[in-house]
Amino acid sequence: MENKIAINGRYLSRRITGVERYAHEVSKRLHSSRIVQPKRPLRQMTGNFWEQLILPGRIKQHEILWSPANAGPWLIKNQVITIHDASVFDHPEWFKSNFAAWTRLSWRILAHRVKAVITVSNFSRERLKKHLGIPDKKIHMIYNGVGKPFEPQTQDVINKTRSKYKLGKPYFLFAGRNEPRKNLTTLIQAWEGLNSKTHDLFIAGMEGNIFAPISSHARSVTYIPDEYLPALYSGATAFILPSFYEGFGLPALEAMACSTPVIASDIPAFREIFKDAALFAKPHDASEITNVMQNIIDDPSLANTVRERGLQLVKKYSWDEAALKTQALLESRS
């Protein structure tokens, strides 16, 4: 059977964070599809060149193109694009000026040329509608999912992973890129305020030891491969996501799936996605984050309640369902 869906595979050469996880998980579940990707990994500018000038020539006339990772070719009208959040409009100061300007221009062009826009939360849907002037019928909300390998790990696997990363004490975990929206400065302030003698803070991100020295009980590493992430989640006292702004918050959902209590910033997308399954703290208030961390340490019953609520919540978010809805949308627009 001839493929009906072409997938913009530019994302395949990038390390996996939330956007790439979404693209990988949904793409592999789409039927009658093929991935079109560059022959080699490309940097930002050469990637834009490939996407705008090379990719359109590789799409067949009968195919609809799905661009899952915030960018797509302007020449292809028979296209659906996923835009994960509106941060380049809401907070352009967080990005390099040329990247933000290019992305805003590109989204404005694409929003009015493509067949449909997908986003991953109602919060992002409303923000993108506002900035891009997209009518209701053209922008579709499809939640992210979670699934294997993110599930509770055995104590043996947890112990081996803790040993690998020299995590002798119980630890709080952050995992994600080091970028302004992630609010790591306030997290460090909160951690210093906790002044814990019993716990460590482990920061797993895309950058090197940029926070060293934080304190004698906090560490950072560059990047955690997928094979170790579930055990790191499962072994943590709590996972902390103190972001100022997100479209969804996939790492926190992955942590919940691994039976880990989650502390999340009190922002609209997290309230929408996590409901009562996380402990919330104001992202600008280090002392409030400190207090929630202390509560988790002091009250095992609270930690267990949050853990159980998280395990129940993740049952509502499935990559299979996200893929089915994406498939249906693509087929309805082809």
Of 112, 103, 114, 48, residue with least CA distance to 76? 114
Residue type, 209: N
Please tell me whether residues 191 and 297 are part of one structural domain.
Answer: yes
> Quick check: 278 and 310 in contact, CB under 8 A?
yes
The pLDDT, as a whole number, for residue 212 is 41
Domain annotation covers residue 139: yes
pLDDT in tens, 143-183: 999 999 999 999 999 999 999 999 999 999 999 888 899 99
**Total domains in the fold of the chain:** 2
> Any idea of the CA torsion for 333, 52, 101, 187, to the nearest 10 degrees?
80
Please tell me whether residues 93 and 225 are part of one structural domain.
Answer: no
Of 308, 262, 257, 23, residue with least CA distance to 150? 257
Q: Please state whether the peptide bond connecting residue 213 to the residue before it is cis, i.e. omega within 30 degrees of 0.
A: yes
> For residue 130, how many other CB atoms are within 10 A of its CB?
12
Which residue, chain included where needed, has tokens 């119980």? 170
Confidence class for position 15, pLDDT limits 50, 70, 90: confident
Please tell me whether residues 122 and 163 are part of one structural domain.
Answer: no
Mean pLDDT for 63-85 is 97
Mean pLDDT for 289-299 is 98
> Using CA atoms, how far apart are residues 176 and 173, in angstroms rounded to an integer?
10
Please tell me whether residues 324 and 286 are part of one structural domain.
Answer: no
Domain annotation covers residue 150: no
Domain annotation covers residue 206: yes
**257-271 as b/e: b if 16+ CB within 10 A:** bbbbbbbbbbbebbe
> Quick check: 130 and 109 in contact, CB under 8 A?
no
CATH code (residue 165):
3.40.50.2000
Please tell me whether residues 215 and 176 are part of one structural domain.
Answer: yes
Please tell me whether residues 136 and 172 are part of one structural domain.
Answer: no
The pLDDT, as a whole number, for residue 207 is 53
Domain annotation covers residue 78: yes
Domain annotation covers residue 195: yes
Residue 178 is part of which domain span? 155-316
275: left (phi over 0), alpha (psi -120 to 50) or beta: left
Mean pLDDT for 297-317 is 98
Please tell me whether residues 227 and 327 are part of one structural domain.
Answer: no
Please tell me whether residues 127 and 236 are part of one structural domain.
Answer: no
Tokens of 287: 């002392």
Write down the mean pLDDT value for the chain. Answer: 93
> For residue 228, how many other CB atoms are within 10 A of its CB?
15
Please tell me whether residues 189 and 292 are part of one structural domain.
Answer: yes
Domain annotation covers residue 67: yes
Burial of 105 by CB count in 10 Å (0-12 exposed, 13-18 middle, 19+ buried)? exposed
Domain annotation covers residue 82: yes
Please tell me whether residues 69 and 173 are part of one structural domain.
Answer: no
Burial of 275 by CB count in 10 Å (0-12 exposed, 13-18 middle, 19+ buried)? exposed
Cα-based distances in Å from 228 to 184, 208, 221, 231, 253: 22, 18, 13, 6, 16
Give the helix ranges, DSSP H, for the chain: 18-27, 44-49, 87-90, 97-113, 122-132, 155-164, 184-194, 229-235, 250-257, 268-274, 286-298, 300-313, 319-333
Please tell me whether residues 32 and 111 are part of one structural domain.
Answer: yes
pLDDT in tens, 93-130: 999 999 999 999 999 999 999 999 999 999 999 999 99
Please tell me whether residues 125 and 236 are part of one structural domain.
Answer: no
The pLDDT, as a whole number, for residue 213 is 41
Residues in the chain: 334
3-state secondary structure of 45: helix
pLDDT in tens, 263-282: 999 999 999 999 999 999 99
pLDDT in tens, 201-259: 999 875 533 334 444 456 677 678 889 999 999 999 999 999 999 999 999 999 999 99
Domain annotation covers residue 98: yes
The pLDDT, as a whole number, for residue 211 is 38
